[in-house]
Structures are given as structure tokens and as C-alpha cells.
């Protein structure tokens, strides 16, 4: 555990200095979060608030979609931007092989690299989500109907989304370390747009209510599937396989 936290700290310190991915992450995240929040506020929340009889469950859904999207973008785009540094770059530049030649275990290196790539996104994603939730409540809801907070949306957003992307980080690092490094990045790059589009569209079109426990359970199921795949692939995680796939 001591070694894991040591590698996490070092990797975060190293990753944060990569200016281009950091700038890309900040710009994409801000554009998406501000854009989604503005569009939903103007097109959906504002007209609903002007009605004489406001539908609170509808407002909960709109707020839920904004929060869910914000957290997904905050955590997911970070993983997209930095997984390349963590897997491809470190593998090709010999950082991983050097670590493997020390007394560290392959499992510790894998876990630490996965968590290190995930943590900055978690902090930014959760912070932006809380910020967006408070701002929308203060601008629209508190003056008229009071603070809106749905517990299932909160669980999905603040707990399950990070869990999904932590599992995805573990899976992509596992695949990237034990096969061609780019394979790990491809998983992340495909997953984020597909997952975000499907889940947000399902909730917007009321196929799955974002405020329901079913939505939370489905998200939890996605995390579970990724974790099960990772556990299944873990037996591939040997020093020999990592070195020879480099």
C-alpha cells in the first residue's frame, strides 16, 4: 500500500506537468460543462420555471442530466487525456520496465497507475458537479420552489460515475500494460462518447428516469461488468507479459 501511494503521488506529479493534455482537458471540460448547463437551463429549466404549475420531477430530471453529464465529462475526459501519458508514454519510455525491475509488484504498479490517472478527474468532476448543482439551485429553484436534490441522482453522479471510470481506468491500464499500449487508450476513447451518449439520451427521452433507482442500478451494473472483465484479465498481469508487450 505504501508503494502504491508513492507511485500514485509521483505519477500525478509527473502527469500534471504535461501541458498539452492538461490544456485540452480543461478546455474540453469547460466547453462541454458550460454548454450543457447553459442549453438545459435556457431550453428546459427556464421555460418550466415560468409555468404556473412547475413539474418538480421534470426539474429534478433536468438537473440530474446536467449533474450526471458534468461528472461524466469531468472524470471521463481526464481519463482520455491522461491515459496516453500513463500507459503509452511510460511504457515506451521505459518507466514501467524500470519500476518492474525494482522490488515492486506488477499489481501495485498497475493499481497505482490506474488510480493516479483517475484521481485528478475525480476531484475536478465532483467539484464541477457540486458547483453546477449549487449554481442552478440558487439561480432557478431556491427563489421559487426551494433546493432540489434527488438522492438517486446524487448516488449515480457522485459515487457510481467515479466507480465506472475507476474500473475503466483499471481495465484500460491492464489491457495497455499487457498488450499493445495503444489498446488501453482505445478502450477509454471508445467508452466515453458511447457511454455518455447512450445514458444521457436514455434519460432525456425518459426511457430511463435519471432520478430512479433503476438508473443507478444500471450504472452500477456497468461498473460491475468492467470490474468482472478486469478480474478475468488480471491473470495476464505478469512482469514477463508487460515487458514483452512493450
Partner 1 sequence: MQPVISIKNVKKALGDREVLKDISFTAGKSDIFGYLGPNGAGKTTTIRILLGLLQADSGNVEVLGKNINLSETRRKIGFVLDSDGLYENMTAEDNMAFYTRIYGVSEAEERIGSLLKIVNLDDRARDMVKTYSRGMRQRLALARSMVHDPEVLILDEPTAGVDPSGQIEIRQIMINIARKENKTIFLSSHNLDEVQRICNRIALIDRGKIKLYGELKSLRQGMGKGMVEIKTRQPIPESLELEIKSLPELGLKEKMDEMLIFSPTEGTGVSEIISFLNSRGVKIEEAVKKEASLEELYSTILKEAEPS
What is the contact surface with partner 1 in residues (CB under 8 A)?
A: 3, 6, 10, 13-18, 92-104, 239-240, 243-244
CB 166 within 8 A of CB 77: no
Comparing CB distances to partner 1, the nearer of 9 and 206 is 9
**What totals of helices (H) and strands (E) does the chain contain, helices first?**
13, 0
Minimum distance from CB of 89 to partner 1 (Å)?
Answer: 9
CB 187 within 8 A of CB 132: no
Give the number of C-alpha atoms closer than 13 A to the C-alpha of residue 126, restricted to the C-beta side. Answer: 15
Minimum distance from CB of 124 to partner 1 (Å)?
Answer: 19
CB 57 within 8 A of CB 206: no
Minimum distance from CB of 67 to partner 1 (Å)?
Answer: 33
Comparing CB distances to partner 1, the nearer of 1 and 244 is 244
Comparing CB distances to partner 1, the nearer of 13 and 206 is 13
Comparing CB distances to partner 1, the nearer of 70 and 85 is 85
Comparing CB distances to partner 1, the nearer of 101 and 135 is 101
Minimum distance from CB of 127 to partner 1 (Å)?
Answer: 24
CB 128 within 8 A of CB 33: yes
* 3-state DSSP assignment of residue 93: coil
H or E segment at 176? helix 161-178
Minimum distance from CB of 207 to partner 1 (Å)?
Answer: 45
Cell of 59: 426539474
Residue reference for cell 458511447 = 194
Amino acid at each position: 500500500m505504501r508503494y502504491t501511494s508513492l507511485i500514485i503521488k509521483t505519477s500525478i506529479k509527473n502527469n500534471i506537468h504535461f501541458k498539452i493534455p492538461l490544456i485540452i482537458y480543461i478546455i474540453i471540460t469547460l466547453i462541454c460543462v458550460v454548454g450543457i448547463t447553459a442549453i438545459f437551463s435556457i431550453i428546459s429549466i427556464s421555460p418550466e420555471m415560468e409555468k404556473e404549475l412547475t413539474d418538480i420531477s421534470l426539474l429534478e430530471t433536468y438537473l440530474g442530466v446536467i449533474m450526471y453529464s458534468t461528472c461524466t465529462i469531468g472524470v471521463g475526459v481526464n481519463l482520455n487525456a491522461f491515459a496516453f501519458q500513463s500507459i503509452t508514454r511510460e511504457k515506451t519510455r521505459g518507466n514501467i520496465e524500470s519500476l518492474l525491475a525494482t522490488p515492486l509488484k506488477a499489481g501495485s504498479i498497475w493499481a497505482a497507475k490506474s488510480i493516479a490517472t483517475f484521481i485528478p478527474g475525480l476531484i475536478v468532476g465532483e467539484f464541477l458537479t457540486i458547483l453546477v448543482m449549487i449554481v442552478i439551485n440558487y439561480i432557478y429553484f431556491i427563489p421559487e420552489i426551494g433546493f432540489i436534490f434527488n438522492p438517486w441522482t446524487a448516488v449515480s453522479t457522485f459515487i457510481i460515475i467515479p466507480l465506472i471510470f475507476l474500473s475503466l481506468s483499471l481495465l484500460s491500464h491492464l489491457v495497455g500494460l499487457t498488450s499493445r499500449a495503444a489498446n488501453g487508450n482505445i478502450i477509454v476513447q471508445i467508452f466515453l462518447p458511447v457511454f455518455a451518449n447512450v445514458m444521457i439520451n436514455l434519460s432525456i427521452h425518459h426511457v430511463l428516469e435519471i432520478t430512479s433507482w433503476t438508473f443507478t442500478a444500471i450504472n452500477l451494473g456497468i461498473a460491475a461488468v468492467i470490474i468482472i472483465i478486469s478480474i478475468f484479465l488480471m491473470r495476464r498481469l505478469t512482469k514477463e507479459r508487460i515487458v514483452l508487450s512493450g
